[in-house]
Amino acid sequence: MTTAPAPSLRHDWTIPAVEAIYTLPLIDLLLRAQLGHREWHRPNEVQGCVLLNVKTGGCPEDCAYCPQSAHYDTGVGREAMLSVDAVLDAAGRARSEGATRFCMGAAWREAPESGPAFEQVLAMVRGVRALGLEACCTLGMLTDRQADALADAGLTAYNHNLDTAPEFYGHIITTRTYRERLDTLARVRRAGITVCCGGIIGMGESRAERWGLLQQLATQNPHPESVPINLLVAVDGTPLADRPPEDPLELVRMIATARVMMPASYVRLSAGRLALSAEAQALCFLAGANSIFMGEKLLTTPNPEPDQDRDLFDRLGLRLQTHAAPGRERQPGPPPLQPAADGRA
């Protein structure tokens, strides 16, 4: 018996097409996302990632959600960069807890061009790869030379989120342009590093602006290999501290739509999980999320305890991925879902 060919990946998404998917009846949207998920991924397997702050606080950016910004009084101070040994000790612990990707973040607007800090990051990357883990960094903007150096060190992925749609971006960040974010992503691509790029919901953006973010992500060619979807963690001292909690079903819709539009990508259920019930997280996995951040902290904000995640996975019958992320190979599964009878995308 022959397997049906994999559906091609689309990069020509329009806002009306995104809207048509996002606003489907939720049950229909979940079905479509889950069937698509099974075309490309093992349905009950989730990648575990750990994110460590290697350089905390004092960032000159004014991102309205970020407690590490030097513009806000959040109680997060500027700290010295961690040693390579300290980072590799943390990476070893992450591997022992079941993580297959180790992510390193530094509170920089751009990675420093000279001095020992960037060389330390390169040593960290080489050490993490030597442990058999995927290595990801988020260091702000990069030059071509820095992207090439990270690639030579063996970096698996570079995280550089778009955060929101271009139309809403200026309400959240004024110290870096959208174009600069896209330019960094292009440099990462040219260097041969895979892209981790997503955004945040719950910052006061409209649904249309959520569709705009998804369009920006899904019209990249290739799609980002990893798409983190974050739920705002409102931190005291930031301009978004008083934002009301977002409806968890909007997060589910965001994940499901990302899964439909970017079926080969890992869709990561990222910041904000601590605010979600077990049932809401289960819906996120049903919607196609197949990666999480593990550990007690995401940079400076809290995350579920490891025991909580183990209990949830046991209850849902999920397991952590034990191998490096596969390439864009289709997994055996049901045939592609046909367009709805009413012609919606």
Annotated catalytic residues are 59, 63, 66, 103, 136, 196, 268
Rounded Cα gap, residues 199 and 201, in angstroms: 7
Burial pattern 248-266, b for ≥16 Cβ within 10 A else e, equals beebbbbbbbbbbbbbbbb
Distances (CA, A) of 264 to 44, 91, 156, 277, 326: 15, 27, 17, 27, 10
- 73's tokens: 């009084």
* DSSP result, 157-197: EEE---BS-HHHHTTT-SSS-HHHHHHHHHHHHHHT-EEE-
Q: Over 194-224, what HEC string results?
A: EEECCEEECCCCCHHHHHHHHHHHHCCCCCC
Does residue 339 have a cis peptide bond before it, meaning omega lies within 30 degrees of 0? no
Contacts of 232 (CB under 8 A, 6+ apart): 65, 200, 201, 202, 203, 240, 243, 246, 271, 272
- 190's tokens: 């040219």
